[in-house]
Structure 1
């Protein structure tokens, strides 16, 4: 009699979270390094810095999540790579919108630059992390085969 494979949702979310924590270090660390080396208040440069930081974190995310979190369903196929890039672009859009929007709002209420950038980045990372997890789990590394154990 065939049995359904156990859902790995909580374990996957925990693994994705641990990898996400490392990615957060890359993301916020890169942003802060760029701000230290090339300080700016220009929205276009802030958008560029956030995009660079996010892109480095997403590249790291793909490697580790394909190797660990979604190993069972990661095939390394062109389809999965394209879907991963698409979800990365959507998550980047979420990250940039939240980063710029929260940054503007915090600027309006006179929060100092360094604190403002990091609060905005933190919220951007949280929301893009959640969007990314569900897109990666249900679209990129969706397990289309092997639905039952013998």
Structure 2
């Protein structure tokens, strides 16, 4: 059992990473589609586009991570849903701050807007991915089974 539990962490991170790769496609694809359809350099609209893209990716993430990565501890309870939403909002904040911050930096350096938006999005996705993994693993889908059973008895 201890060996199985010790392998679960790296395997969960790998599964979360694969799902994250798909989510990255949804996230950056949606952002670029919005920029193609409704190009803007307005920071407020960029923030809105980034939020829409990130929200679609997070919804996809919840479904697949609850079904695959954290299937053993994902109960679909209201508590888990609320905690997932809270972690999603925190990760969205990280994502938006990094996206806007890196955009400022690349504009200062003189990188063209389209490339700059994608560099900023990539950095934002990476940092919010890390934050999200640890929050999902240790707070949202944490296995409270034994503790819960002991508290009930």
TM-score w.r.t. length of structure 2 = 0.92
1:1-150 equivalences in 2 (<5 Å) = 4=2, 6-7=5-6, 8-146=8-146
The CA distance in 2 between the partners of 1:82 and 1:118, in whole Å, is: 31
**Larger RCO of the pair (alpha carbons < 8 Å, separation 6+):** 1
d(CA) in 2 for partners of 1:129, 1:146:
29
Residue 146 (structure 1) shift: 4.6
* More deviation, 138-147/34-43: 138-147
Tell me, in whole angstroms, the C-alpha distance in 1 between the residues paired with 2:47 and 2:115: 17
> 1:6: how far off?
1.4
Once residues 83 and 77 of structure 1 are traced to their aligned partners in structure 2, the CA distance between those partners, rounded to angstroms, is 10
Aligned to 2:150: none
- Give the number of the structure whose residues are more often helix, by fraction: 2
The SS at the match of 2:5 is coil
Secondary structure of the structure 2 residue equivalent to 1:45? helix
Deviation string for 1:67-100 (max 9, x for gaps)? 0000000000000000000000000000000000
- TM-score, normalised to structure 1's length? 0.94
Work out the number of aligned pairs and report it.
145
Structure 1: segments with no counterpart, 5+ residues:
none
Q: Which moved more, 1:20-29 or 1:137-146?
A: 137-146
Structure 2 unmatched runs, 5+:
148-153
CA drift at 1:112? 0.4
Alpha-carbon distance in 2 for matches of 1:23, 1:6: 26
1:35-80 Cα offsets, whole Å, 9 max, x none, are 0000000000000000000000000000000000000000000000
